[in-house]
Amino acid sequence: MATMRVVQVSRPSGSFEIVERQIPEPGAGAVRIKVEACGICHSDSITKEGLFPGIQYPRVPGHEVAGVIDAVGPGVPGWEPGQRVGVGWNGGYCGYCDHCRRGAFFACVRGQTTGVTYDGGYGEYMIAPASAVALMPADLPPAEAAPLMCAGVTTFNALRNSGARPGDVVAVLGLGGLGHLALQYAAKMGFRTVGIARGKDKEPLARQLGASVYIDSQAQDPSAELLKLGGAKVILATATSGEAMSAVQGGVAVNGTLLIVGAAESMQVSALSLLLGCRSVKGWYSGTSIDSEDTLAFSVRTGVRPMNETYPLERVSEGYDHMMSGKARFRVVLTIGH
């Protein structure tokens, strides 16, 4: 029987174990993917540390998957072996619950999460429901595609659904794993792109990624600086600090939105500022497989790429620790040889 190597976690807060398993067969409605690369994301700590209730162990983490379909289960129209595909955080949806019937597939009551409710991409093969699979353009290397399946689709999809139009001032708060992609997308979408981060040293990179204005939040008041530009139609908050979000809120334009994709615990909001300017504070969750597909295609067409540090599967612990340290520039990706 053919076997594969996967990285599993056997219990909450357990260490990564590289084990041999039988290569699984795809069931009805699912495909098997030969994994070529998988991003190591901060959200993988949910599986590693058991932060969601009900995770079944052992579990293989990984929701930033890039690979090739190598087997297709019964009842899967439209997919075939040999297609290059990705799988992201959204691990599939049922298509028939009330949310799905209203088109809100992300809120599916039977929704799955890749690498959390089923085994993800830290391994040589994985099984995914067809509804979780995104087609990957031929000329996108797998290690570059992988982070686009999470950080990429989150920022791309948030920006394109933000209500901002070409020419509008759009600010990106934070210059990390999400922010370095958000700046590129905002610039390529035709927004007047503003980068906000801590320290003067980040300015050259912010400008290189597409920011036409840079605000150093340590030396300047970001809200006041944004108001000098007429206010931001959208501020995409990618930082995970509630304080940093509160500090920019005063820079949202009339009818503008503070759009949150960074998972801060809480933040201060001025109710007066919201009601006087018809302003909104809104969250954005990420995207489903078709959003990922659009993200990959847009990225290839416009030259948006993540900045990655890559590790082979065998060095998964090192890669994960590096990601958790916050020192990675900017995404960490496992490369998987066969």
Shortest spacing between CB 189 and Zn ion, in angstroms: 22
Least separation, in Å, of the C-beta of 184 and Zn ion? Answer: 17
Q: Are 35 and 336 in contact (CB under 8 A)?
A: yes
The amino acid occupying position 54 is: G
Interaction site with Zn ion (CB under 5 A): 41, 43, 93-94, 97, 100, 108, 150
**CB of residue 74 vs Zn ion: minimum separation in angstroms?**
21
Task: Pick between residue 26 and residue 115 the one whose CB is nearest to Zn ion.
Answer: 115
CB 88 within 8 Å of CB 153: yes
Please, which residue, 261 or 313, has the CB nearer to Zn ion? 261
- Whole-number Cα distances in Å, 188 to 156, 284, 304: 10, 20, 8
Using alpha carbons, list the distances in angstroms from residue 41 to 116, 178, 329: 13, 11, 13
Instruction: Give the nearer residue to Zn ion in terms of CB position, either 93 or 156.
Output: 93
Nearer to Zn ion, 94 or 269 (CB): 94
Contact 106, 290 (CB under 8 A): no
The CB-nearest residue to Zn ion is 41
Shorter beta-carbon distance to Zn ion: residue 95 or 190:
95
Question: Token pair of 231, please?
Answer: 């206010």
- Least distance (Å) between residue 97 CB and Zn ion: 3
Tell the smallest beta-carbon distance from residue 109 to Zn ion (Å): 6
How close are the terminal C-alpha atoms of the chain, in Å?
Answer: 16
Q: Is 179 helix (H, G, I), strand (E, B) or coil?
A: helix
Place of tokens 């955080």: 89
